[in-house]
Amino acid sequence: MKFWLNPEYKPGFELARLATKHYSKSFYLSAKMLPPETRWATYALYGFCRYADNLIDKPRNRSFTNLLQEVDHLTWEINQAYETGSSEHPVIQPFIVVAKKYNIPAKYPLELIRGVKMDIEKSRYENFDELYLFAYRVAGVVGLMMTHVLGFKSDKAFEHAEKLGIAMQLTNILRDIQEDKEMGRIYLPQDELRSWGISDADILNEKMCDKMHKFMQFQVKRAHHFYEEGNKGIHLLDRKSQFAIYAASKIYRGILRRIEARDLNPYKGRVFVPQLRKIGILFSEIIRTRFLPKNFNSQNFYFLLNKPI
């Protein structure tokens, strides 16, 4: 029996599907284009990651201590699930079915939870090494887990998946500078801010000056570098799944380019890629990766795949 249709697990997988549909319409559309087994596994993985993220993104009326207790309990639940191979937790149950089927190591979901805990305990990062660790935990390991689910031709796919996850998280950070500072969080490396002569007060007061412009140039260039490194490994994934990651990379990188188009000013409101553009990217990548020859010149493709967003 197909794992997502097993009467014992079916409600959990349906919950994961609904969570994916509710929280990320573009990701949901992309997942629907995957082969059925991969699709349902992706829902389960997304459902767990979203649940963990929401502990901090939607803190409700929890105190700092309560939030840490919730995160610690989630760690316990994951450990128990891996030890026993099952769980009655409505989110972890479908996840552990998928984790066992696709040999996802326990260290990955546990690292994700450590990232959530890190986000509760820290509002500043002294240097890029600290920020990289956070980005690895909340985004890099997601790429590593997805690689198991999507299928891969070489272990080298994992190092590139990590880099692409880092690129996406750096994009989130640059996009959300204004929103994050309203919550008292500054994810930008403190030592780099100081080297450009920028203080926390400058960020909190939305001071846009030449120093900030050059600082943003540096940060955007770094993110582009991680996209380049991450994209090098997408061809190592199963061909039927490649479109989803090519599209995700192109869409997220589009956010970065829209920041550039605003003259790198992070205080002009949140940038986004329009839904129709996302859909165009997704379907063009499906056609390119599934139906066109591998050596096809995408520069001449009707959908203009390589045109900056």
Tens digits of per-residue pLDDT, 68-88? 999 999 999 999 999 999 999
Q: Tell me the three state secondary structure of residue 154.
A: coil
Tokens of 196: 């450009």
With a CB cutoff of 8 Å and minimum separation 6, the contacts of 36 are 2, 4
pTM of the predicted protein model: 0.93
Q: What percent of the chain has pLDDT over 70?
A: 94
Number of H helices, E strands in the chain: 15, 0
Residue labelled with tokens 């995408």: 298
Residue % of the chain over a pLDDT of 90:
88
Tokens 């553009």, residue? Answer: 277
Residue 18 has pLDDT above 60, yes or no: yes
Lowest-confidence region among 48-57, 201-210, 253-262: 48-57
At residue 1, the pLDDT reads 86
Contact between 168 and 258 (Cβ < 8 Å) = no
pLDDT of residue 113: 98
Q: Which residues contact 275 (CB under 8 A, 6 or more apart)?
A: 25, 26
> What are 182-222's pLDDT values in tens digits?
999 999 999 999 999 999 999 999 999 999 999 999 999 99
pLDDT value of position 270: 93
Q: Which domains does the chain have, with CATH numbers?
A: 1-104 (no CATH), 122-309 (1.10.600.10)
Sign (positive/negative) of CA torsion 177, 183, 188, 191?
positive
